[in-house]
Amino acid sequence: MMTITKETPHIKPNGVEIAESILLPGDPLRAKFIAETFLEDYQCFNEIRGMLGYTGTYKGKKISVMGTGMGPASMGIYSWELINVFGVKNLIRIGTCGAMQENIELYDVIFGMGAATDSNYGHQYNLPGQYPLTASFELLEKAKKIADDQGQKVHIGNILSSEIFYNADRGANKKWQDVGILGVEMESVALYWNAIQARVNALCILTVSDHLITGAKTTPEERQTAFTKMMEIALELA
């Protein structure tokens, strides 16, 4: 691997290359799991603030994986630096979400074609209107083909990227459900904005870990197995 001398206050690769394609789970321990389970000849490129990042190979292709933490602020920092400092071109978020439609079940996989949001992250661009936050069609199209080839059922549509985990407005979820939002998570708004602004590719792939209508939830042990389906799609995509 080539020597990397660039660093930021949050990412210090210590000479390890960061690949142009990266998987971005929220949990840094999930990044560690992916590296140890799926990647060959992997090296750790970041340990700052416990946000673990690794680069290795998958089926001969160089791929990186790194945790991003929770919420748009954390995702905003890491994805901006990966894109603008380290030259990452394809960013694939692999995270969890709460389902918001009755036809979606636990462990189902959702591709976030577009992201609605209650976040002010986009206000920094001072646009004279609202900009649609959408995934890269290139990544979305390829991800759908991979899922089809693997025989995996996926849901494709709009998700909600919220700054709020514990919402005091108990009627808010119902309003988002009524306009067809598939699921809610907390990071895609910052990822999509940073990718759109820099004209690189981004896609949010989610596994349903809980259901906002039925109240059903997965256990930590069950999540590890269920998330593997999402990881395999993302790895083939990267």
What residues are designated binding site for phosphate? 26, 30, 49, 93-96
DSSP state at residue 157: E
**Which of the residues 27, 118, 149, 210 is marked catalytic?**
210
Q: Which residues are annotated as a binding site?
A: 10, 26, 30, 49, 93-96, 185-187, 209-210
Is 169 part of the annotated catalytic residue set? Answer: no
CA 86 to CA 64: how far, in whole Å?
A: 12
> If DSSP states are collapsed to H, E and C, what string results for 25-74?
CCCHHHHHHHHHHHCEEEEEEECHHHCCEEEEEECCEEEEEECCCCHHHH
CA 116 to CA 218: how far, in whole Å?
A: 25
Task: Say whether 130 sits in a helix, a strand or coil.
Answer: coil
Place of tokens 């593997």: 228
- Residues with catalytic function: 210
